[in-house]
Amino acid sequence: MSVHSEIKKITTETLRNMKFSKERITMLTAYDFTTAKMVDAGGVDAILVGDSAANVMAGHETTLPITLDQMIYHTQCVVRGVERALVVADLPFGTYQSNPEKALESAVRMMKEGGAHAIKIEGGEEIADSIKKIVNAGIPVMGHLGLTPQSIYQFGSYKVRAKEDAEAEKLIADAKLLEELGCFSLVLEKIPAILAKKVTESISIPTIGIGAGADCDGQVLVYHDMVGMNKGFKPKFLRQYLDLYTEITGAVAQYVADVKTADFPNEKESY
């Protein structure tokens, strides 16, 4: 039996069952082959090819500029590095909001060309018809409510969402609707912990939180933030496990010094 056939792949059903058995779900982002391999080897249940690639890979200020072709490229790279985790890919801004046909076309491209196992889209009631169309085509959909970065110009800031009753009530109604429409899971971003708990308890699909407290069924972080590559980005919700910015710049500085002083390469490092 090959090593590959021994690995039990995570599916959307696995995540649903984890909610029922109260096993927390872990998700991290990845955008390239090498990182995806490490993140998968570390044992996460799901890898998100997030449109945060626009920020951490391409240096854009918002997630809006990244294109479907670029997201498909990142997804292809990630899928090649993953043996176990469920790979969920974001549909980028402008590829699903205008009409359900376009949404389905974008989702199909992401599955067919990108090799994703599921797609994620931002929003509630406004995109219900698109979600229905994609789900009906047999494509698993992860929802995303709360702070939805593709709407940043409408929000005006990255502050915590749904602190007021009206927005909180809409969020709960949207979460229930996403479940009804057939979403298999739901990201809750930057909302009060008490609201995330209420949503988590009122739906049967798993919630995955980022800045949404401890009572979600799982947690997601942007890889570059949790390993400390994104210098200076330290929101309250982030736990930084490494300080790779310092480690890497230190290593580069040492390499520069070694070459300048002719310490590298030495005899052992030469043919």
Residue 86: phi, psi to the nearest 5? -80, 130
Residue 194: CA atoms inside 13 Å, Cβ hemisphere, count? 6
In the structure encoding, which two tokens stand for residue 144, read together? 């995303």
Query: Which region among 43-51, 105-113, 196-204, 258-266 touches ligand KIV (by CB under 6 A)?
Result: 43-51
Chain centroid offset of residue 165 CA: 27
Asked if omega into 140 is within 30° of 0 (cis), the reply is no
Query: Which of 26, 35, 52, 106 is close enough to bind ligand KIV by CB under 6 A?
Result: 52
Q: State the nearest-atom distance from the C-beta of 222 to ligand KIV, in Å.
A: 5
Closest to ligand KIV by CB, 153 vs 271, is 153
User: Is residue 147 within the footprint of ligand KIV (CB under 6 A)?
Assistant: no
Per CB under 6 A, 229 contacts ligand KIV: no
**Structure tokens, 208:** 């995955």
Restricted to residues 178-207, the positions that interact with ligand KIV (CB under 6 A) are: 187, 189
Nearer to ligand KIV, 225 or 260 (CB): 225
Residues 183, 45: Cα–Cα separation, whole Å: 18
Q: Which residue is nearest to ligand KIV (CB)?
A: 50
Cα distance between residue 70 and residue 166, in whole Å:
36
Which are the catalytic amino acids?
189
**Site residues for ligand KIV per CB under 6 A:** 29, 48, 50-52, 90, 187, 189, 210, 220, 222
